Amino acid sequence: MNDMLKGKKIVLGITGSIAAYKACYIIRELIKGGAEVQVVITPSGKEFITPITLSALTHKPVISEFFSQRDGTWNSHVDLGLWADCMLIAPCTAATIGKMANGIADNMLITTYLSMKAPVFVAPAMDLDMYVHPSTQKNLQTLKSYGNIIIEPQSGFLASGLEGKGRMEEPKVIAECLSDFFDKQEKGLYADSSLRGKKIMITAGPTYEKIDPVRFIGNYSSGKMGYALAEECARRGAEVTLISGPVSMTCSDSIKRIDIECCEEMYNAATDVFPGQDAAILCAAVADFRPEHAADKKIKREKDDLVIRLSPTRDIAASLGKLKSNSQKLIGFALETNDEELNAKKKLKKKNFDFIVLNSTKNEGTTFQSDYNQVAIMSENETKHFDKKPKNEVAADIINELENIL
């Protein structure tokens, strides 16, 4: 292990597992590497290992409860979230994984996790049947979609007497995982990325086309896929401009965000920004039609029916396809309900895309509102199919393809 842990501030979360005793060895490895360790332990964790032992190893009081004394003194999970360079939860039980995945903040460890600004590492430890249970696997996938790093458990003899996968990774290996992460972070994992210094425009989210002051035509887009693409490009050193429809998402400060509401606003922003970009990814779910006339007052229910005449909105993709220079790349998305590949191929050619990302409403648990997606990336001569995975991982696959052609 190199010196990458030196001076790092690490919050170590310990939960109620028989593997809790191994936390002592994790602390030793981290402190040997020069890290400063603050332990946060769940009430059930204290049934397996005492705070006195942990405090003796870290030279810090162990945090377990919200309030440390009866005089109003309290432990701030917010301060811990700001203090740490990373958080490691080892061992992490199925119960804690479930609470983390669903935001059940009923103890100090979970509130610290929810307040954490730094990367979070999770080292599961449980019996093999618990580990392979669909609910546990779903919760782990959810944590991955949040950007948490899972340190996979190993196979071996378990406390139950069974043999299989579920044993927490060895303390030395866990410490090496953290050290490797900081090493890559310092060197820049994507230091040699072809996106470094490139200007990338991304559209995301829905558009709202007004019917009257309180109603609109829109869609179910959450913006999650577009925002994941923006973050991935920024991580690789690109200068990202994100043109976003109305969503509740937030993005990194390094990303220039332009908020719009309707298709016309997105068209104006995109056609203004695109000429100065190296590439654009059109991920927004833009309305194809808008009311021909938007009422300036709320439409009252006065008749048995209401007829609204719709007009086509501006075709942003087609317009950018015509503006595109030989040095620029243009990536599109196609959400289809039938004849998926045929329709995507037509759109690829018609809009002058360099490649198109196809997803389908037939893939259960993907697309709108979901944290997962399952896509095919189609170019003129090739189609690559990918498994269902968290949207941040899908974003990495898409940006890998962009790097190949940029």
Looking at residue 258, its pLDDT comes to: 97
In this structure, the answer to whether residues 177 and 64 fall within a common structural domain is: yes
pLDDT band at 18 (very low <50, low <70, confident <90, very high): very high
**Range with the poorest average pLDDT among 20-29, 143-152, 225-234, 257-266:** 143-152
Reported as a single tens digit per residue, the pLDDT across 332-346 is 999 888 888 899 999
Closest CA relative to residue 193, chosen from 184, 202, 180, 204: 184
Strand ordering across the sheet containing 383-385? 256-259, 239-244, 199-204, 279-282, 329-336, 355-360, 375-378, 383-385
Looking at residue 271, its pLDDT comes to: 97
In this structure, the answer to whether residues 204 and 345 fall within a common structural domain is: yes
In this structure, the answer to whether residues 33 and 154 fall within a common structural domain is: yes
Q: How many domains does the chain have?
A: 2
Are 225 and 373 in contact by the 8 Å Cβ rule? The answer is: yes
Q: Is the pLDDT of residue 12 over 70?
A: yes
Q: Which of 161, 187, 213 is the last residue of a domain?
A: 187
- Residue 275 in tokens: 């000429």
Share of the chain above pLDDT 90, in %: 69
Looking at residue 68, its pLDDT comes to: 65
CA atoms within 13 A on the CB side of 369: 5
Closest CA relative to residue 340, chosen from 374, 391, 390, 289: 374
Buried b (16+ CB within 10 A) or exposed e, 278-317: bbbbbbbbbbeebbeeeeeeeeeeeeeeeebeeeebebbb
**Range with the poorest average pLDDT among 119-123, 145-149, 401-405:** 145-149
Q: Is residue 86 part of a domain?
A: yes
* Measured distance CA(193)–CA(8) in Å, rounded: 27
Q: Is residue 47 part of a domain?
A: yes
- The pLDDT mean for the chain works out to 90
Looking at residue 55, its pLDDT comes to: 95
Are 151 and 169 in contact by the 8 Å Cβ rule? The answer is: yes
Looking at residue 33, its pLDDT comes to: 93
**Range with the poorest average pLDDT among 159-168, 219-228, 321-330:** 159-168
Share of the chain above pLDDT 70, in %: 96
Arithmetic mean of pLDDT, 31-51: 95
Looking at residue 165, its pLDDT comes to: 86
**CATH number where 396 lies:** 3.40.50.10300
Q: Which helix (H) or strand (E) holds 393?
A: helix 391-405
In this structure, the answer to whether residues 325 and 266 fall within a common structural domain is: yes
> Is this structure's pTM higher than 0.75?
no
Q: Is 360 helix (H, G, I), strand (E, B) or coil?
A: strand
Q: Is residue 99 part of a domain?
A: yes
Q: Range of 357's domain?
A: 199-297+304-405
Count of residues making up the chain: 406
Reported as a single tens digit per residue, the pLDDT across 64-107 is 987 766 555 567 788 888 899 999 999 999 999 999 999 999 99
In this structure, the answer to whether residues 224 and 182 fall within a common structural domain is: no
**Range with the poorest average pLDDT among 46-55, 163-172, 238-247, 313-322:** 163-172
What is the secondary structure of 144-179 as a DSSP string?
HHTT-EE---EEEE-TTS-EEEEEPPPHHHHHHHHH
Q: Is the pLDDT of residue 54 over 90?
A: yes
End-to-end CA distance of the chain: 36
Helix axes 94-102 and 108-115, enclosed angle (nearest 10): 50
Looking at residue 185, its pLDDT comes to: 72
Contacts 24+ apart (CB under 8 A), 170-175: 171/22, 171/25, 171/26, 171/28, 171/29, 172/25, 172/29, 174/26, 174/29, 174/88, 174/90, 174/121, 174/123, 175/1, 175/5, 175/26, 175/29, 175/30, 175/33
219 as an active site residue: the answer is: yes
* Measured distance CA(42)–CA(64) in Å, rounded: 6
In this structure, the answer to whether residues 213 and 119 fall within a common structural domain is: no
H helix runs in 103-223, sequence order: 108-115, 128-132, 134-145, 171-187
Q: Is residue 343 part of a domain?
A: yes
**Range with the poorest average pLDDT among 27-41, 58-72, 109-123, 137-151:** 58-72
Phi, psi (deg, nearest 5) at residue 128: -60, -40
Q: Is the pLDDT of residue 127 over 70?
A: yes
In this structure, the answer to whether residues 350 and 239 fall within a common structural domain is: yes
Looking at residue 91, its pLDDT comes to: 96
* Measured distance CA(64)–CA(51) in Å, rounded: 9
In this structure, the answer to whether residues 223 and 160 fall within a common structural domain is: no
Q: Which of 141, 160, 187 is the last residue of a domain?
A: 187
In this structure, the answer to whether residues 168 and 286 fall within a common structural domain is: no
Reported as a single tens digit per residue, the pLDDT across 237-279 is 899 999 999 999 888 878 999 999 999 999 999 999 999 999 9
Looking at residue 191, its pLDDT comes to: 61
pLDDT band at 197 (very low <50, low <70, confident <90, very high): confident
Closest CA relative to residue 176, chosen from 33, 6, 21: 33
Are 17 and 47 in contact by the 8 Å Cβ rule? The answer is: no
pLDDT band at 354 (very low <50, low <70, confident <90, very high): very high
Reported as a single tens digit per residue, the pLDDT across 382-401 is 999 999 888 888 999 999 99
Write down the catalytic residue from 219, 343, 352, 363. 219
In this structure, the answer to whether residues 160 and 227 fall within a common structural domain is: no
Looking at residue 190, its pLDDT comes to: 62
- Residue 25 in tokens: 């060895």
In this structure, the answer to whether residues 159 and 203 fall within a common structural domain is: no
Q: Which residues contact 219 (CB under 8 A, 6 or more apart)?
A: 206, 285, 287, 368
Are 45 and 16 in contact by the 8 Å Cβ rule? The answer is: yes
**CATH number where 77 lies:** 3.40.50.1950
Q: Which of 131, 157, 187 is the last residue of a domain?
A: 187
In this structure, the answer to whether residues 292 and 234 fall within a common structural domain is: yes
Q: Is residue 1 part of a domain?
A: no
